[in-house]
A and B are shown apart, each in its own frame.
Chain A
Amino acid sequence: MNILIIEDEKALAHELEFFLLKNNYICEICYNGTSASEKIAVNLYDFILLDLGLPDYEGLDLLKEAKKANPEVACIILTARAEVNDRVKGLDLGADDYLAKPFSLLELQSRMQAITRRKFGVTQSIVDLDGFLVNITERTIMHHTDQINTITKKEFDLIAYMLLHKNRTLTRAQLSEHIWGSVINDDYDSNFIDAHIKNIRKKLSVYAPADWLETVRGLGYRIKTNV
């Protein structure tokens, strides 16, 4: 997949590129709006990661140009200026998602995957974990033919997020950011991820031991699978 990163903060652009390359994406970087505008007009991209706060260009104009050049392009807006109006305007102009800085790279990847599924119609969304069938699009879990109804919304979010980043250790901070991201409160250490994982294991163990949900000592959790 071809990705254009438009970000004037060079250090951040490099980290984005590093991460995306590692996850088998093809990347190009623009540090300013003018060169981005030229690139958009010439090349065909599947994804544009657009920082709205460019010094030389109105970010939303770039979005319009990109949509005009390729209506199929998926676009995620990245911004530190988390103005409510920007969000609405961006989504109105055809942006697919909106991530406020600072964001987790894993969060970015999961948003990108969600957009890909939606836009490009990836059919394979059921994952088999030792007999547990997780349907990401329908948001359901079955054990063989038994529907599991005890899993809550938050618990499913955790499973889906770990599954999206399967075989990768996710720290409590990363998991916590994913499921509590929109809640603003003044706790910092208590993330309750352990309690959630304990609940998930307990609920699944009624059917079969969920050994694929591993605790990585001292670091976090991961879903191990060969699928």
Chain B
Amino acid sequence: MANSDAIVGWKTITFGCHILEPGNAANFRTGDWRSQRPVVDKEKCIKCGMCWVFCPDMAYSQDEDGYFVVNLEYCKGCGICAHECPKDAITMVPEEG
């Protein structure tokens, strides 16, 4: 989750530790401790968007061709997308290294 913006001093930390900027989680790489990642098989994908609906981190977005792609900066590898996919088009693959 390392991001230089988060490293504040006691004088510069926000009042009461509040988050004053809504949606600022997008500023932080929250997916770097993932142990597995989703891989989409475009042959099987019907572009239904269930992965996008169920992803708890809103890591999915739609590309120009209408496929849903995951942003690995935010994907925590929970596997909900793979579980929900009605066509079993998503496989969870262990992260290497």
A binds B: no
